[in-house]
Amino acid sequence: MLLSPLPMHIPDGFLSVAVSLILWFATILVVAYALKRVGEDLGERQVPMMGVLAAAIFAGQMLNFTVAGGTSGHLMGAAIATILLGPWAAILVLTCVVGIQALIFQDGGLLVLGANIFNMGIVGTAVAYMAYHTVRRLTGERLWGILVGGFVAAWLSIEIAALGVGLQLAISGISPANIAIPAMGGIHALIGIGEGLITVGALAFLYSARRDLFQANQAGPVGGKTVWVGGLLIALVLAVASPLASAHPDGLEWVAEQKGFLDAAQGPLYNIIPDYVLPGISNEALATILAGIVGTLIVFAVGLLVAYSRRRVQTS
């Protein structure tokens, strides 16, 4: 859609129900923990700040720059939110951004919202935090450390999240691992450069305008080490698992067959009632035609009813 530059918002129907529910579960756990952390560590002042910053990230995703021809680079904002707010608040902010995109703008589905929050909010934030703080620790108090850290954090957060999306699509049996993962990873390796460049520009601007924003976060938030380790683990697992999975798509297909059983064509019941479509109708084509007739009748009746009631309102 117009507002989502990244092909990273998975719509409904593209993840198997099992994968969607598992990722919902993981997302709820992490977001609940982040809520607890933010409630403890941050003052009441942070509540309006997180709301307005979520709106700013949503609006910031509209900012683009011409790359070449008709293509352009955009901002996703996970890295910059993490750098400015710390990981826990960033997770909440990105949860709200992704949530509104799904709920209001149909950017990404509702059943797969948990997966989308997981990819863009949690994976993006943890990886960005890990990358940024590693680079800053190595470079000390210098501006170029912030800028390099920002670029690496932005690029890595996009790339790892994209690998995650590819892996989820493959596990769901939507597209084979040796196509989905290289495609997502390849496209986003380029998109990530755009994200990195914008993030660096934004950090340079903020550094000269409001240096205090960077010093405030210097101490690091409570539980920062957990996030760092989590980010490192996520990055390593996805960076290692994805090439492995795309090199051996058969193994993943096996997982897809096992996991996707809920929406795979043949359930165990299929064997009990073979060639038996509707009670009394032994032909699948007939069932489809019947459903077509019933569906048409429903829509027709509803249309008539609405037209009738509207005319009655107009005449009275």
Scan residues 210-239 and list those touching another protein (CB under 8 A).
210, 213
The answer to the question of residue 17 lying near another protein (CB under 8 A) is: yes
The answer to the question of residue 97 lying near another protein (CB under 8 A) is: yes
Pick the closest to residue 101 from 113, 83, 89 (CA basis). 113
The answer to the question of residue 26 lying near another protein (CB under 8 A) is: no
The answer to the question of residue 27 lying near another protein (CB under 8 A) is: no
Please give, one letter per residue, the 3-state secondary structure of 275-287.
CCCECCECCHHHH
Q: 230-255: string of b/e by CB count within 10 Å (b at 16+)?
A: bbbebbeebbebbeebbeebeebbeb
**Distance between CA atoms of residues 182 and 158, nearest Å:** 14
The answer to the question of residue 251 lying near another protein (CB under 8 A) is: no
Answer left, alpha or beta for residue 293, where phi above 0 means left and psi between -120 and 50 means alpha: alpha
| Joined tokens for residue 67 | 């790359």
The answer to the question of residue 122 lying near another protein (CB under 8 A) is: no
**In this structure, what are the phi and psi dihedrals at residue 71, rounded to the nearest 5 degrees?**
-90, 155
Residues 140-199 that bind another protein (CB under 8 A): 169, 174-176, 179-180, 194, 197-199
Stretch that binds another protein, among 93-101, 119-127, 137-145, 235-243 (CB under 8 A): 93-101
Stretch that binds another protein, among 59-67, 115-123, 221-229, 236-244 (CB under 8 A): 59-67
Cβ of residue 260: shortest distance to another protein, in angstroms?
A: 9
Cβ of residue 236: shortest distance to another protein, in angstroms?
A: 25
The answer to the question of residue 54 lying near another protein (CB under 8 A) is: yes
| Joined tokens for residue 169 | 């699509």
The answer to the question of residue 288 lying near another protein (CB under 8 A) is: yes
DSSP bridge pairs for 74: 64
Stretch that binds another protein, among 128-136, 222-230, 232-240, 285-293 (CB under 8 A): 285-293
